[in-house]
Amino acid sequence: MEFTAQQIAEALQGTVEGDATTTVSTLSKIEEGAPGSLSFLANPAYEKYIYETHASIVIVNNDFKPEKKVSATLIRVNDAYMAFAQLLELYQQSKPQKTGISPKAHIAQTAKVGSNVYIGEFVVIGEHSEIGDNCKIYPNTTIGDKVTIGNETTLFAGVKVYEDCVIGNECTLHAGVVIGSDGFGFAPQQDADFKKVPQIGNVVLEDRVEIGANTVIDRATMGSTIIKRGVKLDNLIQIAHNVVIGENTVIAAQTGIAGSTKIGKNCMFGGQVGIIGHLTIADEVKIAAQSGIGKSITEKGAIVEGSPAFNARDFQKSYIYYRKLDSLVKRINNLEHQLKNKM
């Protein structure tokens, strides 16, 4: 299906610069743009490609000022990245949607399933569980007893949701996610053995939460592990028992958060961050990738880096000297040697 630059501009509330009748039928990255494709430029680091791309239409920010001639038709918008994301969402919605319940699925007689759902092959839904309207549950997913899932939520293949957990509206759980596995609770015994502490709580995902593939969120020992509204978690993340993650916080892959830590809202964590248990992280905190957090961060909006982590700007200044440690040691040894010879 083809769209003109003018049609796209109207959909994005943008303005056309160039031939408004130019048509496109596919999407592309700007560095790989081909005739008939639509691309975008949001990151200044990619500006060089706009002068050589073969994409027919490129979405740019209103403040973009080309330094050379651009052959593509431009569509100017307030935020090129968000505009392109909007187009991707429209494209996704235009694809055929799965509906219906596979006869190979097993749904307990006491379970309640909403309208217009898709439930794939070998899905198991336990006793007294409730599935909302317009949900999609892909093959080989297991939903335990007394689980509640809201409307318009998608569980991709192989998701496991343990008993008593609650998942809100418009959530997305990618393949292999585990919700509600036991928290890591063991009491040491006199014979050096460990006795398992029963984990009787649950996990609560509020609305519009997205969980990346193979991420695990443990159930609380008592009470709930809570992932609040709008949180986005990447792949391969471990969230331990009784953790609370505040609204609209985003966390990148391979991060681990130990038990009972409370994360504020609107935080941003890079990949492979490690946070020990029973800490408090304030709102709007940013933690650089591979940082280790060993104490609470109480300053709203703090930016930290390193292991143990401290102020990111101080870390970057210090790193200049870390890289020179070997030469600095040699210089000190040389100076000490010279001083000894003079004595």
- What are the distances in angstroms from CA 219 to CA 178, 181, 185, 223, 315? 10, 6, 11, 9, 35
Residue 183, CA atoms < 13 Å, CB-side half-sphere: 26
| Residue that has been written with the tokens 């006199």 in this structure | 190
Q: How far apart are CA 246 and CA 203, in angstroms?
A: 14
Q: How far apart are CA 60 and CA 80, in angstroms?
A: 5
Q: How far apart are CA 225 and CA 260, in angstroms?
A: 8
Which listed residue (54, 106, 241, 337) is catalytic? 241
Q: Is residue 337 annotated as part of the catalytic site, yes or no?
A: no
The secondary element (H helix, E strand) that includes residue 8 is helix 5-12
Q: How far apart are CA 137 and CA 101, in angstroms?
A: 9
Residues with catalytic roles: 241
